[in-house]
Structure 1
Amino acid sequence: MHYQQPARLQAVVLDWAGTVVDFGSFAPTQIFVEAFAEFGVAVSLEEARGPMGMGKWDHIRTLCNQPQIAERYRAVFDRLPSDEDVTALYERFMPLQIEKIALHSALIPGALDAIAALRDQGLKIGSCSGYPAVVMAKVVELARANGYIADHVVATDEVPNGRPHPAQALANVIALGVSDVAACVKVDDTWPGILEGRSAGMWTVALTCSGNALGLTYEQFKALPAEKLAAERARISRMFEGSRPHYLIDTICELPGVVEAINARLARGEMPQSY
């Protein structure tokens, strides 16, 4: 028996906040700010966005490792934040996240039509997130009420290692019965999510405008002057350079066209690991 490269995509693995729901990815970032504030430590929204895409405990640990945030913590508690302190912050973050997730649960405009177009192309819809399972249950419930149901969902605490490790993406491959990782495309608005897809051997698509990197509401995004939008796209493209996405698009609305382009590349014998 000989190895046969896939000729077409079989599945997409979609992120959640900033990709399918919550334009601007406000739900997770704002809660980090509030959780730290309850401990008397100031963290800006921009700082909170930095490690977005990681599992939430790892996200808080990464924030606490930032020298300026660590010093603010020391000023309040007379010590640098330990793993036990990170866990205490995480345990405050979780109920806040569950309580307020519905405030930012709206589907990204055009997402349902784009996903319907992907299904029309015969693709399965996998998904994963930096949210733990208890939060994902609420996110999935709210999305279902708005008309979006993924074929499979993997939370960050359902695998040994969250992003940027490939475990969540690969769990989708197994659950969806995909025959080859090269027949999958990972779509995300964060660099850990793109690294996840890259490490899993998938095609990757980075979203520049609907998620964490731009950090604006849909209305603010649509109101950006053309020159400012072009500058922001360029800035965000530079942010993604290290994770090497195969494609960059504004929002999920453009994904069906990218899928067609990837199918053409697969038909020519191209593979994601080669680029």
Structure 2
Amino acid sequence: MKKCELVIFDWAGTTVDYGCFAPVQAFVEVFKHFGIAPTMDEVRKPMGMLKRDHIKTMLAMPRIQALWLEKYGKASGESDIDEMYRLFEEKLMSILTDFSSPKPYVLETAAKLREKGISIGSTTGYTDEMMAIVTKKAEELGYAPDAWFSPNSVNNMGRPYPYMIYRNMEQFRVHAADHVVKVGDTVSDIREGRNAGVYTIGIIEGSSEIGLTQEEYHSLPLSHRASLIQKVKTRYLEAGADAVIMNMSGLIPLLEAVSE
């Protein structure tokens, strides 16, 4: 890629909220409220999407839709999605402040990017209202990108659409996609980056794809951890990632290696 001018980070699971647990907890509680217990794989598979779309995607999963039909006698509809999303917002907003701590190496990496004159943008699957909580708490703890854009800023056309990335590029007046890097922790992040034509990086540790707390991850037997890491790396690469890093400490060395 060309000389990097702008790095665009995701939020939960990438720069804050190790393991991406805030939305997971809220999704699980919502579906249980409606009498359906989703698996962790079902909850995490659409992670990174606009949250209403996430609920819609989960409801379309064969096992979940079969359970819905069994319980309610008819297929789920748009009004059901609206009601579930309303409850999701309520639950998520009540816990977000507890899931906004920066992940390891994020503060140090942000400082180094600024030393190099590289702007820091961000995109998210959260709404503006959710981000008002997350950004305030993250800033109190030392992390504040130069800009952020939610699906609200692009007519709710969030990931995998590329428009939030384009808004970041417009904000920083970056004239070409090959001067931009996107870093995220979900397949939706990778697709967003690829659709925008920017250099796209998947992050492994603390990601939604791993789906473990820091303590759970580091307590894994090394063989199990290595297998999980390889599985997530393969998933990113199959989705179109240009590169994969273990954690944020690997970003600067990677940028130095691939920038012309």
TM class, shorter-length: over 0.9
Distance 1:77 1:252 in 2: 45
1:211 has 2:207 as partner: yes
TM-score, normalised with respect to structure 2: 0.96
- 1:13 maps to 8
Equivalent residue number for residue 163 of structure 2: 167
Tell me the equivalent position of 1:116.
111
Output the CA distance in 2 between the equivalents of 1:128 and 1:22. 15
CA distance in 1 between counterparts of 2:224 and 2:109 reads: 26
TM-score (norm: length of structure 1): 0.91
Q: Secondary structure at the match of 1:154?
A: coil
Letter in 2 for 1:149: A
Mapped partners of 1:125, 1:238: distance in 2: 27
Note if 1:39 corresponds to 2:34.
yes
Answer yes or no: is the 8 Å Cα contact 2:181–2:198 preserved in 1.
yes
**Letter aligned with residue 193 of structure 1:** D
Post-superposition shift, 1:179?
2.1
Residues 210, 250 of structure 1: 8 Å contact kept: no
Shift of 1:223: 2.4
Q: Does 1:247 pair with 2:243?
A: yes
* Contact kept? 1:181, 1:200, Cα under 8 Å: yes
- Report if the CA contact (8 A) 1:11-1:184 is conserved: yes
Identical-pair percentage: 33
**Paired residue secondary structure (2:18):** coil
| Conserved? CA contact 1:187–1:204, under 8 Å | yes
- Partner Cα distance (1:234, 1:124) in 2: 31
SS at match of 1:79: coil
Where does residue 223 of structure 2 map in the other structure? 227
- Aligned-residue CA RMSD in angstroms? 1.3
Q: Does 1:195 align with 2:175?
A: no
**What is the aligned partner in structure 2 of residue 272 from structure 1?**
none
**Can you list the C-alpha shifts for 1:133-169, whole angstroms capped at 9, x where unaligned?**
1111111111111111111110122213110110111
1:20 Cα shift? 0.4
1:132 aligns with 2:127: yes
Cα distance change of structure 1 residues 78 and 7 upon mapping to structure 2, 3 Å threshold? closer
CA distance in 2, matches of 1:159, 1:219: 37
TM superposition shift of 1:222: 2.2
Q: Is the 8 A contact 1:189 1:212 kept in 2?
A: yes
SS of equivalent residue, structure 2 residue 181: strand
On the 8 A contact 1:114/1:256 being kept in 2, the answer is yes
Give the whole-Å Cα distance in 1 for the aligned partners of 2:151 and 2:143: 20
Partner residue of 1:273?
none
Q: Distance in 1 between matches of 2:110 and 2:167?
A: 20
Report the equivalent of 1:155: 150
Number of the residue aligned with 1:182: 178
Letter matched to residue 219 of structure 1? E
Contact 1:33 1:42 in 2 (8 A): yes
Instruction: Confirm or deny that 1:24 pairs with 2:24.
Output: no
Question: Residues of 1 paired with 2:153 and 2:104: CA distance?
Answer: 29
Distance 1:248 1:7 in 2: 18
Unmatched 5+ stretches in structure 1: 1-5, 268-275
Matched AA of 1:216: L
Runs of 4+ in structure 1 deviating by more than 3 angstroms, as ranges, are none
CA deviation map 1:191-237 (0-9, x unaligned): 11111111111101101222111111112222223222211111112
Distance in 1 between the 2:237 and 2:102 partners?
Answer: 27
Cα deviation for residue 262 of structure 1 reads 2.3
Question: Which amino acid letter does the alignment assign opposite residue 262 of structure 1?
Answer: V
